[in-house]
Amino acid sequence: MKPLAFVFRYARKYVGPLTLTVLSMLALVGVQLLAPWIIKNMVATITDPDAGPGAMDTIARLALLALGVYLARAGLQFLRSYMAHVAGWYVVADARRHIYVHLQRLSLRFYEDTQTGQLMSRMVNDSDMFERLIAHAIPDVMVNVLSLIGVSAVLVSLNWQLMLMSLVPIPLIVLVMRGFAKYVRPAFRARQRELGELNATLSDNLSGIREIKAFTREEAEAARVSTHIDRYRDSMLRALQLMATFRPFVEFASSLGTVGLIYFGSRLVLQQVLPLEDLVAFFLYLGQLYQPVQALSGAWESVQEALAGAERVAELLDEDPDVQERRDAIEFQGRAKGAMSMRNVGFRYAMGDMVLEGIDLDIAPGTAVALVGPTGVGKTTLANLIPRFYDVCEGSISLDGHDIRDLTIQSLRQQISIVLQNVFLFHGTARENILFGRPGATEQEMIEAAQIANAHEFVMQLPDGYDTMIGERGVKLSGGQRQRIAIARAVLKNAPILILDEATSSVDAETESLIQQALERLMLGKTTIVIAHRLSTVRSADLIVVLEGSRVAETGTHEELMSHEGLYRRLNEVQIEDEPKWRAVREQRQRLMATV
């Protein structure tokens, strides 16, 4: 996507404010051209020996006209500025919405390689530059170009020789502006990039403030943040150095024309070739000739800033999601039965080895399937393929006979409830986080979901019950409480397919037992995928799938798998053997503490 293509696409939506801006700019240029003409006529009236007693009346009328001109100029400046800002901020708002919708379309693979702070910087800081373009740079360029044309026409009518001499610095300024753009845009891009790095570091550190305090890394992290602050400062100063060099040069080049006019204009007056009032008017109009040129240099800086921001945003918008919806994708109608089939499924992360390969699996509707195996064999990855968080690299997955890639992503995911291993709760109330599963649910349905998840009792003990603010990421709750809120959220959604990724990993033994009972009731009639390391939690599963080395090693019920020598039996025996070992370690530690 071209850097400014989407900016102007949104700008077209605001024809009204932009039209008022253009009309007020045209009127403003005309009003500004009147002021020197009025002063010229005043000087001519004062220096006219034949003016007579009516001269004061003429001057009074011209003074009133000047007052009207200045009042009109003030009103038009307000209209131009405000309408331009209205269009500018609406464009920024639309661009940010566009960026956010695009970010939601990108797959998880993209977020694994990108810092959140960088994305926030591109969405907020870089898009902020569009307002400068719409509200400042473009209107300033238009006003100053129109002023330049209008003033040039007036100066030609006064004295074309002086006018040509006044234009001598203009080609030099244009050449410098082109060279300036070559260097300043990369400088602004570097500045925006360093700002993104600073935002990313701050976002990481504020999110991980507990870890920073726990490992006493305050000084080290303060130094790291300070380094990014200094780098942003230096990149800003490099850009400002270029700007500080450019503007004085433009003003110096403009002054060359003024010096030439003083010399040659004065000679023409002394030679009585040019009337004095025309020279005075020429000087006044000359200020309006060079002022647009100097203003254009400032507008040019804003354009370069906006282009630098637009290029970074365009790079983000050019990112294509790995998981894409087919144009002919169909909506899944009604409630799924939950029959799933995997045929020769293979998957690898970007440029990596195969995480899963040759996976063949049939899951009957309403059954509970447990995925077990050593750490890193792809249990969570396999579960993530079902809602298309990632797409298979080989083979296919079907739901009720439909290849999931033939379904719209939204209608597919509406059939699935998920409780992830790492619980994420939004900053808000307990009520808002539970209702996130189904916003239209009634109060009674929400409470029943919380009761099933064994969350209702502790929620009612919070200061404001369900309306208690739980903090960012649920920081005010314990790990077990956060887990139960997340389970209640999944219960409320009541989808026919349920994925539990270590859903009871953050609770104590008593709470785990209660939640396990609730989950057993919840799982009735639903196709459930359970991922667990503690094998005691999956013994009741209808089918246990044991993964090893990216492949399915064995499948069966708990009793079937324990009846022969295999990985599942070995894993069970290891966990059973480890219990007395850990008990002995604990008892030894207690004896040592008693002797201290």
The domain that holds 363 is classified in CATH as: 3.40.50.300
Residues 6+ apart with CB under 8 A from 124: 96
> Does residue 299 sit in the same domain as residue 204?
yes
Residues 6+ apart with CB under 8 A from 254: 169, 173, 290, 293, 294
Residue 307 lies in a domain: yes
> Does residue 108 sit in the same domain as residue 180?
yes
> Does residue 367 sit in the same domain as residue 305?
no
Residue 51 lies in a domain: yes
> Does residue 465 sit in the same domain as residue 518?
yes
CB under 8 A, 24+ apart: contacts of 102-110: 102/316, 102/317, 102/319, 103/316, 105/321, 106/319, 106/321, 107/321, 107/322, 107/323, 107/389, 107/390, 107/391, 108/384, 108/389, 108/390, 109/322, 109/349, 109/350, 109/390, 110/319, 110/321, 110/322
- Residue 554: which H helix or E strand, with range? strand 551-556
148/164 Cα distance (integer angstroms): 14
**Structural domain range at position 467:** 340-562
Predicted confidence pLDDT, tens digits, the chain (596 residues): 565 666 777 778 888 888 888 888 778 877 877 777 777 777 777 777 666 677 777 888 888 888 888 888 888 888 888 888 888 888 888 888 888 888 888 887 787 777 777 788 788 878 887 887 787 777 777 777 777 777 777 777 777 777 777 777 777 777 776 666 677 778 877 887 888 888 888 877 777 776 777 677 888 888 888 888 898 888 888 877 777 777 677 667 767 767 777 777 777 777 777 777 777 777 776 766 666 666 666 666 677 777 777 788 888 888 888 888 888 999 998 899 999 999 999 998 876 788 899 999 999 998 889 999 888 888 888 998 999 988 999 999 999 999 999 999 989 989 998 887 677 888 888 998 899 888 888 999 999 888 888 888 889 999 999 999 888 777 788 777 888 888 888 888 888 999 888 766 555 666 667 667 667 767 777 898 988 877 777 888 889 999 998 899 999 988 888 888 888 888 887 776 555 544 554 455 555 555 54
Q: Choose among 18, 8, 185: nearest CA to 95.
A: 8
> Does residue 151 sit in the same domain as residue 188?
yes
- Whether 310 and 7 have beta carbons less than 8 Å apart is answered as yes
Q: How many CB atoms lie within 10 A of CB 402?
A: 14
Residue 507 lies in a domain: yes
Give the CATH number for residue 49. 1.20.1560.10
pTM of the model: 0.71
Residue 458 lies in a domain: yes
> Structurally, how many domains does the chain consist of?
2
Query: What 3-state class would DSSP assign to 499?
Result: strand
Residue 572 lies in a domain: no
Query: What 3-state class would DSSP assign to 173?
Result: helix
pLDDT digits (tens, 9 = 90+) for 218-232: 888 888 888 888 988
* Torsion from C-alpha of 321, 327, 331, 332, nearest 10 degrees: -70
> Does residue 101 sit in the same domain as residue 239?
yes
> Does residue 313 sit in the same domain as residue 358?
no
> Does residue 350 sit in the same domain as residue 411?
yes
> Does residue 312 sit in the same domain as residue 350?
no
